[in-house]
């Protein structure tokens, strides 16, 4: 009786062991033994055995091949677009757009050809009559602003060494990583990006180069010595996950000729309330010494910064929890007092409910999102947005000639909602007197691209818009659009 049991068991163990050994070596070209056996079997039969007998091993082989091809495609895409430049063609010519408050605008739009793996993020800047456009991968293109008078035009690439500072796979392959901001001032070009300080640990850093159309030689300008680890224990406690989208990266110039810079908290929420951490802050960096001071804290993900030199006021737009995106104003950035805007203790939004009920309850214990800032000792936002207007991006000031509406006008992009908000503030910047809305499509799904960046061209009294494909669209091919918005006074 025992023999009857032992022999089948031995047979099964032998069969299973043989299956495991063959599975692990089925695509191993380094094994001479298995190579000789494979050569004895016709190719068609070998492929049939792989597909039908060693199914799981064959699936792993295919997945590895796909991964290698995707990496090769990403590398080729970067090499191609880093020398190829951008080709634009006009797709809309002086279409009349009417705002919610019945203001009329001429709207013209140019579109690039498809750019594999370049998006979705992009930023642009106007400097000395040239438009500079940087892609998510850090490829910098430029062209004279007068090209916008053409039906078709090309932007040329400026070679650079920027990729040397972003030498990790996710920078190229993952849509949430990449460049986060562009600033050009005093013949210096500043680029912020998600930087891998050590394996799997990231921060948002700034790199600078002297403006040179032959080649840009970047070097570190500001790079914190701390980073947020994607496997940090906090993400098990919260429970949350590391989020590179919450990384800030916006830059502007202060009255003291320093760099004002926003940082996100990468969804490690408690860092926003930690005065010893650079994350979840707006900071001012001295251009000479590279030393910084914290201007404000309690931020989730500041996306837009504008410093009003005349009033010595800093305005910031911020992605907060759903239904709680904010516009915040700092009326005294030179003060020694660090302003605190409350995140994640106070917010008028709610946590995204992609967690289970128990996990969401635990998250509210850690980050309560109280529905008042003032009651908890924080600065109230100038404005917060409900779910109809989401994801405020860049903010830029318009001059008094724009519809002749005075000197306190601003244009804000609402990215997720495909809207522009034309705001008029009172003299003290404590109240919004008017908020006009321009919609690009009736519903979120009507218009597949959103405003990522805004330039105000004061010489021609017009607004230039940089559109990108929405991040929720999973296509590997991206395009950028440049829009021209001219008021019909």
| pLDDT tens, position by position, 160-214 | 999 999 989 899 888 889 999 999 999 999 999 999 999 999 999 999 999 999 9
Highest-confidence segment of 22-26, 30-34, 115-119, 340-344: 340-344
The pLDDT assigned to 116 comes to 58
Least confident of 100-109, 446-455, 462-471: 446-455
- Please say if the pLDDT value at position 48 is more than 80: no
DSSP letter at 178 equals S
What's the pTM?
A: 0.84
Give me the pLDDT at residue 444, please. Answer: 44
Extended strands (E) in 264-386: 282-285, 292-297, 302-308, 313-318, 326-330, 339-340, 383-384
Neighbours of 92 (CB within 10 A): 14
**Smallest Cα–Cα separation from 177: which of 94, 93, 278, 249?**
249
**Residue reference for tokens 């224990």:** 233
Confidence of residue 469 (pLDDT cuts 50, 70, 90): confident
pLDDT over threshold 90, residue 157: yes
Give the mean model confidence (pLDDT) for residues 436-465: 81
185 vs 10, higher pLDDT:
185
pLDDT band per the 50, 70, 90 thresholds, residue 379: very high
Q: Say if residue 106's pLDDT is above 60.
A: yes
Reported residue count of the chain is 489
Average pLDDT value for residue range 134-163: 95
Q: Residue 468 pLDDT more than 90? A: no
Range 280-306 average pLDDT: 97
CATH code, residues 88-487: 2.120.10.30
What's the confidence (pLDDT) of residue 113? 78
pLDDT of residue 439: 85
Task: Give the whole-angstrom CA distance, residue 166 versus residue 305.
Answer: 24
For the segment 233-273, what is each residue's pLDDT rounded down to a tens digit? 988 876 678 999 999 999 999 999 999 999 999 999 999 99
d(CA 279, CA 293) in angstroms, rounded, equals 13
Q: Are 279 and 253 in contact (CB under 8 A)?
A: no
Partner residues linked to 208 by β-bridges: 190, 219
Indicate the SS3 state at residue 130: strand
Q: Which of 224-233, 305-314, 473-482 has the lowest mean pLDDT?
A: 473-482
What gap in Å lies between CA 217 and CA 166, rounded to an integer?
14
Q: State pLDDT tens for residues 317-349.
A: 999 888 899 999 999 888 889 999 999 999 999
CA-CA distance, 188 to 146, in Å (whole number)? 23
6-10, 87-91, 274-278, 358-362: which range is least confident on average?
A: 6-10
| pLDDT value, residue 73 | 46
214-253 burial by CB neighbour count: b if 16+ within 10 A, else e? eebebeebbebeebbbbebebbeebebebbbbbbbbbbbb
Least confident window among 54-58, 168-172, 305-309, 395-399 = 54-58
Residue 422 has pLDDT above 60, yes or no: yes
pLDDT value, residue 69: 47
Q: Contact 487/105 with Cβ under 8 angstroms? A: yes
Task: Tell me what pLDDT residue 12 has.
Answer: 60
The mean pLDDT of 264-289, rounded to a whole number, is 97
Q: How far apart are CA 207 and CA 162, in angstroms?
A: 8
Model confidence at 476: pLDDT above 80: no
- Whole-number pLDDT of residue 44: 60
């Amino acid at each position: 009786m025992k023999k009857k049991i032992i022999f089948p068991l031995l047979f099964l163990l032998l069969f299973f062991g043989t299956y495991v050994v063959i599975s692990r070596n089925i695509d191993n070209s380094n094994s001479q033994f298995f190579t000789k056996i494979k050569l004895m079997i016709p190719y068609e039969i070998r492929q049939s055995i792989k597909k039908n007998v060693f199914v799981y091993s064959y699936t792993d082989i295919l997945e590895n091949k796909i991964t290698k091809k995707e990496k090769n495609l990403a590398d080729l895409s970067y090499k191609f677009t880093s020398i190829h430049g951008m080709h634009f063609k006009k797709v809309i010519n002086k279409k009349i757009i009417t705002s919610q408050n019945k203001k009329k605008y001429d709207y013209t739009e140019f579109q690039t050809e498809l750019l594999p793996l370049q998006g979705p993020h992009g930023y642009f800047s106007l400097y000395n009559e040239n438009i500079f456009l940087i892609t998510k991968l850090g490829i910098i293109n430029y062209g004279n602003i007068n090209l916008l008078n053409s039906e078709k035009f090309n932007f040329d690439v400026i070679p650079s060494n920027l990729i040397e500072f972003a030498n990790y796979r996710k920078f190229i392959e993952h849509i949430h990583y990449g460049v986060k901001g562009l600033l050009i001032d005093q013949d210096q070009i500043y680029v912020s990006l998600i930087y891998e300080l050590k394996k799997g640990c990231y921060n948002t850093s700034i790199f600078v180069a002297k403006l040179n159309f032959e080649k840009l030689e970047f070097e570190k300008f500001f790079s914190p010595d701390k980073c947020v680890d994607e496997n940090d224990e906090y993400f098990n406690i919260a429970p949350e996950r590391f989020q590179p989208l919450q990384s800030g990266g916006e830059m502007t110039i202060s009255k003291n000729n320093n760099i004002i810079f926003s940082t996100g908290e990468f969804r490690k929420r408690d860092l926003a309330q930690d005065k010893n951490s650079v994350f979840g802050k707006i900071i001012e960096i001295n251009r000479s010494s590279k030393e910084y001071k914290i201007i404000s804290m309690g931020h989730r993900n500041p996306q837009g910064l504008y410093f009003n030199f005349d009033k010595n006021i800093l305005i910031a737009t911020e992605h907060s929890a759903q239904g709680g995106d904010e516009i915040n104003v700092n009326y005294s950035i030179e003060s020694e007092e660090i302003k605190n805007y409350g995140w994640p203790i106070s917010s008028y939004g709610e946590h995204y409910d992609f967690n289970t009920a128990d996990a969401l309850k635990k998250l509210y214990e850690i980050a309560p999102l109280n529905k008042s800032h003032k009651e908890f000792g924080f600065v109230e936002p100038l404005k917060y947005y409900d779910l109809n207007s989401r994801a405020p991006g860049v903010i830029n000031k318009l001059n008094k000639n724009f519809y002749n509406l005075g000197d306190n006008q601003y244009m804000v992009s609402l990215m997720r909602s495909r809207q522009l908000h034309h705001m008029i503030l009172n003299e003290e910047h404590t109240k919004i007197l008017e908020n006009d809305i321009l919609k690009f499509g009736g519903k979120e799904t009507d218009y597949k691209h959103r405003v990522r960046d805004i330039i105000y061209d004061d010489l021609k009294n017009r607004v230039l818009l940089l559109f990108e494909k929405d991040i929720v669209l999973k296509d590997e091919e991206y395009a950028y659009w440049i829009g021209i918005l001219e008021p019909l006074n």
